Structure 1
Amino acid sequence: MSTAQKTRTALVIGGGIAGPVTATALHKAGIQAIVYEAHAELGEGIGGGLALAPNGMAALDTIGVGDAVRAAATPIAGTRMAIDGKIHELPSLAGVEPLQIVGRGDLHRLLRERALEAGVGFEYGKRLIEATETADGVEARFADGTTASADVLIGADGVRSTVRTLIDPAAPGADYTGLLSFQGYVDAAPDLDVEPGMMTFAFGKRAYYLYWKQADGRLTWGANLPSKTYMSLTEARAIPADKWLRRLRDTYRDDTPGHLLADRTTPDTLDITGAIHIMPPVPHWHTARVALVGDAVHAPSNSTGQGASLAIESALHLARTLRDIPNPATAFATYETLRRPRVERITKRGARTNRKKTPGPLGRKVMHATMPLFFKLMNFDKVLGWEQRYRIDWEAPVR
């Protein structure tokens, strides 16, 4: 293939969120794609849930899976902030659909089903170890000794991306935020009366947490446990769940309803979801025939509520640029120009929010005093409207 010819085939590395969406969007753009996933089967290691913002849902609508995700999700139309038990109502953004909370396993399954329906192929147990570029394409080599070739290769392999280091051995890795993440599930009770469709962000005396009611009536809560020691997901899950529960119960013992949520969570209803990461700016997003998408290149902290949505957006933009620009290197450069300013701005917002998750006694007093005035003066539409109202015009040509 010469550099003047249209991209026709792609290898997509990673079968989580960005990978299947990228492959589906590529097929929509007329480019054949196969997804290669390192794990042996769908859903291995998946736990907890995630939020999809209105902009992310709009992007999923573009590839025809939005309604299926909504059917599996819990809509959150309102939010509150609790500081030492005192509740502050947060402004809402008018004219957008609710935040959708969906289980990671459910989302992965739905994205895979839509990709298969679109004609995407999947290969499991394929851990990438090398990618070799030529003038006409790229060849991937996997740990099992097999190889695969295509016009381009897309790295959708998460915060610990192999593709990122193949593009640039000096590329930065994901930063640890100092927080470990857990998600628990408890039955509703009179002393745990939570309004449906409402999410509460709570600043406890020792740690931040959040909680909401699922469509089935159970309460879900997420804990952000401060930890100076970094732990990988594998390391965190090697510790028995009942030991983590003892630590969570001690951390939230003076918080309401934090202590109730922690006390009523059992080892069977606790998901250990691992360290919370945030990606620093990545200097090199691509080479001539290899590019990054999703958490592999931009992973804002979970404080933004935008991680998955930004990955989905980027997947669509990457497909659009390859559809409309014959030279892959030029297409990738255009894709980076389209995406870098937006994702880095949102990542910076998440970093600021992370620093506020453990305010301490003095910090909580300041928050109590300033929060009502802050919300009164804040232009919510100006702060978050540009994020959530963002829409991709799939049909518009990329130049």
Structure 2
Amino acid sequence: MNRTRTAIVIGGGIAGPVAALALRRAGIEAAVHESHATTADGIGGALSVAPNGRAALGLVGVDRIGAPMNAIVLQNHKGRVITEIRQPMQFSWRADLYRRLYDLALDQGVAVHHGHELADVRESGTGIRAVFADGTVSEEADILIGADGLRSTVRRLIDPRAPQPRYSGLLGFGARVDGAGRPPTGDRMYMSFGRRAFFGHQSFDDGTGVWFANLPHPYLTWTHVRQTTNEEWLRRLGEAFADDRVPALDLLRRTPPQDLVTAGPMEDLPHVPHWHRGRMVLVGDSAHATSPSSGQGASLAAESAVELARALRDLPYPQAFTAYERARRARVERVIAQAARTNSGKAAGPVGRTFRDALLPLFARFATPERMAWQYDHRINWEAPIAA
């Protein structure tokens, strides 16, 4: 069998280190190349890790992650509880998960190179090299994995006509608040469908809290979002929640402008036609980006990285890429579609809000653990062999 022995991983966020760690477990040497010159310590907001994601991360050596977030309490703009949905999630700061994976990769001997922005590839009959924007060229490897996110360069190299990200109609914001001034919510995250925007918050025993907001807004690029000051965004968010009887205004007032995390436009990739070509393959958001509303972005990225490593362990890379895509595509696209439906409710207009609020109790009846098991109970059997 023409076994894969070496891999170049493009992207050092979440999916990249998980892929490198899973590949090493499969006996494949991997090096990570990250475009940013420094690490991403302290960068990014909060995220949730689902049970399926925790299981996938456990396969590469990550055990405990964050704090329990076992229920979501849905409210309307008046603060009235519509329903409580039990979902066994873990709350984590992206920076904490990133650092955990980064340190684990270094401890296991994974080479991580910074300042390597991918510009092109050189593929031959014997291997593939990465060409970086500064003119340097990587050592030759058997395959190249694109874990370079929503605006993946590897995706464009695989298919110059690959789709662009799709905007949900929402801008994302959030912050950690040191003095939340609210009683602990335990393992519950409260989420409110406001009159003009969506708001979520959770308070912890140490007096800190976290909040996030999804603001319906015409599309803005990251550059345009950053051209507006944090003070101005906090003011606009305050206007959006001014008529709602939820804790949004209080938590916004307690948020120093410098602590505001601007997530920018909330986007997804509902269908990427080509996940691989030649010696290149996609993993994580570069192949199947889902909106943050899914609560599954990091979890799906971890799952895909592990499944790709399993396939490469057992099959030559052409068959491995096909088996990996076959195992993943239907599942991830179903999650993406579900998150898109959630976003449509968050961005509803006056008439849509009326129907949404009326139908939410009905939706909650169907969001039972049994009906959500296809998402949360998914487990990867690392030891099981993969057939061509």
* TM-score range normalised by the length of the shorter chain: over 0.9
Aligned amino acid, residue 172 of structure 1: P
Moved more, 343-352 or 356-365: 356-365
Q: By how many angstroms is 1:188 displaced?
A: 2.8
* AA at the equivalent of 1:89: T
| One of 236, 254, 264 as aligned partner of 1:274 | 264
Listed as ranges, the matches of 1:132-281 within 5 Å are 132-148=122-138, 149-186=140-177, 187-189=179-181, 192-214=182-204, 216-232=206-222, 234-255=223-244, 256-281=246-271
RMSD of equivalent CA atoms? 1.6
Question: Helix, strand or coil for the counterpart of 1:275?
Answer: strand
Partner residue in 2 for 1:332? 321
Q: Which deviations, in whole Å up to 9, do the C-alpha atoms of 1:119-172 show, x marking residues without a partner?
A: 211000000000122111111100111111200000000000000000000001
String of CA shifts for 1:280-319, please: whole Å, max 9, x gaps.
2011100121000000010111111111100000000000
Q: 1:348-387 CA deviation, whole Å, 9 max, x = no partner? A: 11111110003344334334434334434x2613431110
Deviations 1:226-282 (A, max 9, x none): 1113221x4423422111111111111112222222222221321112211111201
- Matched residue of 2:162: which SS? coil
1:176/1:364 CA distance change after superposition, 3 Å: closer
**Residue equivalent to 1:285:** 275
2:10 to 10, 13, 31: 13
Q: How does 1:1-399 map to 2 (within 5 A)?
A: 4-43=1-40, 46-67=43-64, 70=65, 73-84=66-77, 85-92=79-86, 98-148=88-138, 149-186=140-177, 187-189=179-181, 192-214=182-204, 216-232=206-222, 234-255=223-244, 256-325=246-315, 327-376=316-365, 378=366, 380-399=368-387
Q: Following the alignment from structure 1 to structure 2, what is the Cα–Cα distance between the partners of residues 144 and 215?
A: 48
In structure 1, distance between residues paired with 2:375 and 2:333 = 12
In the alignment, the residues of structure 1 paired with residue 367 and residue 18 of structure 2 have an alpha-carbon distance, to the nearest angstrom, of: 33
Is the 2:42–2:95 contact (alpha carbons within 8 Å) kept by the matching residues of 1?
A: no
Q: Which runs of 4+ in 1 moved over 6 A?
A: none
CA contact (8 A) 1:320 1:394 kept: yes
Distance (Å, rounded) in 1 between the aligned partners of 2:148 and 2:358: 44
Aligned mates of 2:164, 2:330 — CA distance in 1: 19
TM-score (ref. length: structure 1)? 0.92
Matched position secondary structure for 2:274: coil
- Residues 280, 364 of structure 1: CA spacing in aligned structure 2 closer, same or farther, 3 A cutoff? closer
CA contact (8 A) 2:174 2:262 kept: yes
Query: Deviation at 1:193?
Result: 3.3
CA contact (8 A) 2:75 2:82 kept: yes
What is the aligned residue count?
A: 383
Q: For residue 308 of structure 1, give the secondary structure of its aligned residue in structure 2.
A: helix
Question: Structure 1 residues 160 and 368, CA, compared in 2 at 3 Å: closer, same or farther?
Answer: closer
Secondary structure of 1:222 counterpart: strand
Distance 1:248 1:379 in 2: 29
Q: 5+ residue gaps in structure 1?
A: none
Quote the Cα distance in structure 2 between the aligned partners of 1:268 and 1:144.
33
2:26, 2:310 within 8 Å by CA — same for their partners in 1?
Answer: yes
